[in-house]
Amino acid sequence: MVYSVGDMYKEYRNSDLSRKSQEVGIIFDVMVTGVTGAGKSTTLNTIFSKEVSKVGKGVEPETMETESFRLNDSFRLWDSPGLGDGVAKDKEHSKKIVDLLYKDYDSNGQSYGFIDLVLVIIEGSNRDMGTTYKLLNDVIVPNFQKERVFVAINQADMAMKGRYWCYDSNSPKFELKQYLEEQASSIQRRVKEATGVDIIRPIYYSAEHNYNIEKLMDLFIDYMPKEKRTLVYV
Ligand SMILES: Nc1nc2c(ncn2[C@@H]2O[C@H](COP(=O)(O)OP(=O)(O)OP(=O)(O)O)[C@@H](O)[C@H]2O)c(=O)[nH]1
Ligand SMILES: [Mg+2]
């Protein structure tokens, strides 16, 4: 993938982001998670307009550790290893994710969690949601506040097996757009049924094609919690 010159999203709504983070008194931290190959690392690379995290080339999972990247003074993103590569690896990766969810800092004698918000990325073409539900049910929800969990659909370009993606306008054609809208409603409903989590309607984007990344940034900025995250041990 070729990155265009300049830092496209570094300055995106920077005054909103900076005001909000100053109100809470922290730099916002978002953990990006999802099954292996969903495009977590690609999403980070597109937001940073450069390769900060290695993208998988084959069927092997790529990211093995949690790692943070600072976009600007107000915002930091964390990449994490994906689930869905066998029981042993899932266990190892789940532990790393849970460790990050409990990573803490002290402020005025209180302990707070580093991670303010979790973004679960789902592949647009993904019909088997099993591993995503497992990630939500077994790893995220028991260790993190539900209302801070968001879902987004990546690989919008591939959602109908690559058909109806318009390369000229770099956006979905009517048929694909309709499909993605339905997909968003269906995922919202299915996540509720399978995990009990009431997510807001997922946005869809393409990390590879740099499509709707503004929507993703808007999601972070608009829904960033107004309070630090108190740690609750279960
Ligand atoms: N067509 C298309 N391919 C994408 C998109 N996003 C990611 N990919 C491809 O999907 C594959 C996996 O991407 P990664 O970013 O490595 O996925 P990951 O979620 O970080 O995977 P792990 O690190 O293994 O957990 C790569 O071949 C990417 O080029 C997208 O929006 N569209
Ligand atoms: Mg990765």
- Please give the DSSP secondary-structure letter assigned to residue 71: E
What pLDDT score was predicted for residue 78? 97
What pLDDT score was predicted for residue 60? 82
> How many residues would you count in the chain?
234
What pLDDT score was predicted for residue 233? 64
Can you say how many angstroms the Cα of residue 101 is from the centroid of all Cα atoms in its chain?
Answer: 14
What pLDDT score was predicted for residue 23? 94
The class that CATH gives domain 14-230 is alpha beta
What pLDDT score was predicted for residue 143? 95
What pLDDT score was predicted for residue 108? 85
What pLDDT score was predicted for residue 58? 80
What pLDDT score was predicted for residue 234? 55
Domain definitions of the chain by residue range: 14-230
What pLDDT score was predicted for residue 1? 60
The span from the CA of 123 to the CA of 59, in Å, is: 15
Q: Which residues of the chain have pLDDT under 70?
A: 1-7, 233-234
Distance from Cα 37 to the centre of ligand 1, integer Å: 5
What pLDDT score was predicted for residue 125? 83
What pLDDT score was predicted for residue 197? 92
Can you say how many angstroms the Cα of residue 183 is from the centroid of all Cα atoms in its chain?
Answer: 17
HSE of 31 in the Cβ direction (CA atoms, 13 Å)? Answer: 27
The binding-site residues of ligand 1, defined as CB within 6 angstroms of any ligand atom, are 34, 36-42, 55-56, 61-63, 81-82, 154-155, 157-158, 206-208
Residues with Cβ within 8 Å of residue 93, at least 6 apart in sequence: 64, 80, 81, 82, 83, 85
**Among protein residues, the one whose CA lies closest to atom 9 of ligand 1:** 39
CA-based nearest residue to 184, from 169, 198, 202, 171: 202
Q: What is the DSSP string of 108-164?
A: TTEEEES--EEEEEEETT----HHHHHIIIIIIGGGS-GGGEEEEEE-GGGTTTTTT
Distance from Cα 204 to the centre of ligand 2, integer Å: 19
